[in-house]
Structure 1
Amino acid sequence: MNAATRRAVTATAAVSMALSLAACGQAGGDETGDKGSSTKIGLLLPENKTARYEALDRPQFEEAVKGACLTCEVVYNNAVSDVVKQKQQFDQLVADGVRVIALGPVDATKAAGWVKEAQGKGVKVVAYDRMIEGADAYVSHDNNKVGELQGEALLAALGGKAASANVVMINGDEKDPNAGLFKQGAHTALDGKVGKIAYEASGEWDPKIAGEKMSAAISSVGKNKIGAVYSANDGMAGGIVTSLENAGIKGIPVGGQDAEIAGIQRIIAGTQTFTIYKSPLQLAPKAAAFAVDLLMDVPLRAKSETNGVPSNLLDPVVVDKKNIQSTVIEEGIYTAAEICTPELADECAKLGLK
């Protein structure tokens, strides 16, 4: 991560949250002598199979909170895709007196009940990247648009072959409300413009399961009859590409999402066609801003509402070979040295990555 970029983002977040910072300086404890619970912010993320959560979202959130509130402390846990574990983590934060929790739910439907119960105890919840009914605030990207961009990028990659192409769709985990929005958006872009969706299944955000579903699709559709593959994210695209390679299938468009470094490397190598970049340099600081504002009980700077919840929805960006430099490198997510392994050096040089 580019240190200058991180400092600039943190500085911006600190300026934008001046009211919170001023209030925060007066909030080192409460009148009962509890020295710290009043300035603790919980961050609960849903899983670690998707690399971005640990590598990007967590550090960006923690840094933005620190930049906005000198006395605030982030209490972090990852549910590793286990809804029971996440419920225990959530309950523990409430029991420990944490007043604001940023929650990326494993199961958004179940989480709605937790949120309602916690709110009855004075706890406020920011829905982090996945909508939770009844939350106090919500930050994500425009997830229907993410799916539309994925579908449009797949169509562009197919070109004149689109109208007759058999497309395989490996969607995300059905417990994640975003997965349904990605799927809906992708169908909006693809339906009626490709030959047909020849196979569709959930890969459950798991590269291994996605690879298994891809193998099933190859058996069902036929090795030489698959025109393109929609993968809801980069992690699953890795398993899909492995299955394609094992079957001897090369040169067909494969999409993804999250701009994971492995996905960027596959784009450079030519085994993945595109990804969707959802900048944590925007997402995590916006969520941190909501969390600090809720902690300090100041007005939220929301740009919209989603199902009645104050929201900030950010714009996603398609990344392919042409704009790796101007997106993930120039924004400081990765350096060219991190991306360009010795095996990719020649291709990186052709793309002018530096």
Structure 2
Amino acid sequence: MGLGVGLPTCRSLSRAAVAAAVGAGLALSAACGGGGGGGSDRLSVGVLLPGGGASRFGQFDRPLIEQKLRQLCPHCPAPIVAATPEANVQQQQLDALITRGVDVLIVAAIDPKALRSSVEAAHRAGIPVVAYDRLAQGPVSGYVTFDGATVGRLQGEALLTAMGAKAHGGQIVMMNGAVSDPNAGWFKRGALSVLNGRVRIGKSYDTADWRPENAYTDMTGAIAALGPDRIDGVLAANDSLAGAVISAFYASAVRPVPPVTGQDADLAAVRRIVGGEQYMTVYKSYAAEAGAAVRMAVALGRGEPVGSVATATVDSVTTRKIPSVLLPSYPVTVGTIKDTLVKDGIYTIDQICTPKLRSACAKAGLT
């Protein structure tokens, strides 16, 4: 499960004592050797991500989390990172980190409900859990994400713009995320806040496990049910789903493809935007998210309050007033790629502009 051998951490208090102290809101830095030195700067951090490799979490979040931890806690061992797309495997990984006795956890839950018992076990063991990007159920100590209502609203507004005159009474398909992910419902509600009353929703799907192959199957069914010429736009919740939607249109010989939204600013999606296949994506600063999560995790691991990091509170179905950071998001269309993704160093023009896209890049000012 990718949980290699870690370095020693602060354990001058028993787990029961740590749990009691955390529950009472007491600082533990003195017992751990004092802030800025000793055990408090040897924090063992466990990080669980819902994907690695070519996924957004592997490309961006993991290295950013590792880099920020080195900055904030230079004497801390490297974080113990485990990534998987499988909910049951992630629960096993979380249980293994609890048994190992890490000081603090950063968890991007695949299935927030399924992780509840493990989050409760971490709480009993005195291990604070920072929910990352997705709000896990159970007694999490902090939460860092992007404002999902804003993400959905940006997607809905962009889709209406792209539809032009068809934004008044036209028909769309909604390709939402997984029901198990509370963010998916958040995005959907944000989108509906601007779409309701403006367009007809011919089909709406909740994509099991966020899997593109499921979105492809659903989109193929929507094209067959509604008719290839009667879909004026698609609200796709992220870029992976957007890619599957576009592939389904191509497989059904639909040309041109109607406007399709996305999220995450995947490189493949940015190239599709340049090439005119996808209308927009939503850019979220992963550096800001990783930075806030690590600051929160280090504070919690040292037994310090997170009030200086958290700017809001959020309720889950199990826990009220979770200290939270809700970060902003930004719409990206072909005309704003240079001033957002390129300017922020997410991608270079050379990465975006493959030989096939050179003329489209020149037209978009990506030179």
TM-score scaled by length of structure 2: 0.85
SS across alignment from 1:244:
helix
**Of 319, 326, 339, the match for 2:352:** 339
Deviations 1:101-152 (A, max 9, x none): 1001111112232212211111100000011242100000001111111111
1:23 aligns with 2:27: no
Verify the 8 A CA contact 2:130 2:140 in the aligned structure 1.
yes
Verify the 8 A CA contact 1:100 1:125 in the aligned structure 2.
yes
Structure-1 residue corresponding to 2:20: none
Distance 1:43 1:24, change over 3 A: farther
Describe how 1:143-154 pairs up with structure 2 within 5 A: 143-154=148-159
Per the TM alignment, residue 165 of structure 1 is displaced from its structure 2 partner at its CA by 1.1
Matched residues in 1 for 2:125 and 2:36: separation? Answer: 21
Matched residues in 1 for 2:112 and 2:333: separation? Answer: 31
- The residue type paired with residue 132 of structure 2 is Y
Per the TM alignment, residue 26 of structure 1 is displaced from its structure 2 partner at its CA by 2.1
Structure-1 residue corresponding to 2:282: 276
Distance 1:66 1:325, change over 3 A: same
Per the TM alignment, residue 23 of structure 1 is displaced from its structure 2 partner at its CA by 2.7
Deviations 1:282-335 (A, max 9, x none): 111111111111111222121011111000000111000111011111111111
**RMSD, matched Cα:** 1.5
Verify the 8 A CA contact 1:127 1:139 in the aligned structure 2.
yes
Structure-1 residue corresponding to 2:237: 232
Q: Percent identity?
A: 37
Structure-2 residue corresponding to 1:353: 366
Structure-1 residue corresponding to 2:44: 40
Structure-2 residue corresponding to 1:305: 313
Structure-1 residue corresponding to 2:15: none
Matched residues in 1 for 2:68 and 2:204: separation? Answer: 39
1:90 aligns with 2:94: yes
Higher helix share: 1
Verify the 8 A CA contact 1:102 1:287 in the aligned structure 2.
yes
Matched residues in 2 for 1:251 and 1:223: separation? Answer: 10
Structure-2 residue corresponding to 1:55: 59
SS across alignment from 1:44:
strand
Per the TM alignment, residue 49 of structure 1 is displaced from its structure 2 partner at its CA by 8.8
Verify the 8 A CA contact 1:203 1:210 in the aligned structure 2.
yes
Structure-2 residue corresponding to 1:123: 127
Verify the 8 A CA contact 1:49 1:206 in the aligned structure 2.
no
Deviations 1:235-271 (A, max 9, x none): 1111111111122221411000000001100000000
SS across alignment from 1:58:
helix
Verify the 8 A CA contact 1:157 1:253 in the aligned structure 2.
yes
**Of 173, 176, 193, the match for 1:171:** 176
Structure-2 residue corresponding to 1:75: 80
Matched residues in 2 for 1:336 and 1:320: separation? Answer: 15
| Unmatched runs of 5 consecutive residues or more in structure 2 | 1-33, 316-320
1:325 aligns with 2:325: no
Matched residues in 2 for 1:283 and 1:23: separation? Answer: 24
Structure-1 residue corresponding to 2:105: 101
Structure-2 residue corresponding to 1:198: 202
Structure-2 residue corresponding to 1:288: 294
**Of 120, 125, 142, the match for 2:147:** 142
**Of 253, 259, 262, the match for 2:265:** 259
**Of 187, 206, 210, the match for 2:192:** 187
Distance 1:217 1:49, change over 3 A: farther
Structure-2 residue corresponding to 1:160: 165
Verify the 8 A CA contact 2:104 2:129 in the aligned structure 1.
yes
Aligned length: 323
Matched residues in 2 for 1:96 and 1:303: separation? Answer: 32
Verify the 8 A CA contact 1:94 1:118 in the aligned structure 2.
yes
Per the TM alignment, residue 203 of structure 1 is displaced from its structure 2 partner at its CA by 2.3
Per the TM alignment, residue 48 of structure 1 is displaced from its structure 2 partner at its CA by 4.5
Verify the 8 A CA contact 2:53 2:59 in the aligned structure 1.
no
Per the TM alignment, residue 175 of structure 1 is displaced from its structure 2 partner at its CA by 0.6
